[in-house]
Amino acid sequence: QEQLVESGGGVVPAGESLRLSCVASGTTFSRSYLAWFRRPPGEEREFVAFVNLPGESGPPAVYADSVKGRFTISRDNAKNTMYLQMNNLEVGDTAIYYCAAGLRLGSYDTWGPGTQVTVSS
């Protein structure tokens, strides 16, 4: 069964950058749709970004409006790893960030434990 582990979280001042990684163990990573979600303090989990399968029809990536132009999602199937490059971080980006994977578009059945990102003013 696929397992996911996030890393790269931390505490940074507003305006700085972080890169999150999500490493997968298992054999289905290259065939999985992948995404990042986050849960801000006291709020519900929300979508951040999605990366499509290479060569699949549709957009290669989709972003929440709140992160568009600042965050970049990518995947390296050879390394079983997904990334989230986060630039120009804002206090409102403070959250626990989760990576998710699924073999069906829009359905994520494997989740990582999360990594904390804290942006200070």
Is the pLDDT confidence value at 1 over 80?
no
Query: Is residue 53 a contact partner of residue 33, using CB atoms and an 8 Å limit?
Result: yes
Reported as a single tens digit per residue, the pLDDT across 41-85 is: 999 999 999 999 988 999 999 999 999 999 999 999 999 999 999
Tally the residues of the chain.
Answer: 121
Categorise residue 42: left if φ over 0, alpha if ψ from -120 to 50, beta otherwise: left
Q: What is the pLDDT of residue 27?
A: 84
By C-alpha distance, which of 103, 85, 101, 81 is closest to 93?
A: 85
Query: Is residue 46 a contact partner of residue 64, using CB atoms and an 8 Å limit?
Result: yes
The share of the chain scoring above pLDDT 90, in percent, equals 91
Structure tokens given for 2: 């696929």
The share of the chain scoring above pLDDT 70, in percent, equals 100
Q: What is the pLDDT of residue 53?
A: 93
Q: What is the mean pLDDT of residues 93-120?
A: 96
Reported as a single tens digit per residue, the pLDDT across 9-23 is: 999 999 999 999 999
By C-alpha distance, which of 60, 22, 66, 32 is closest to 48?
A: 66
Q: Is the dihedral of CA 42, 71, 74, 64 positive or negative?
A: positive
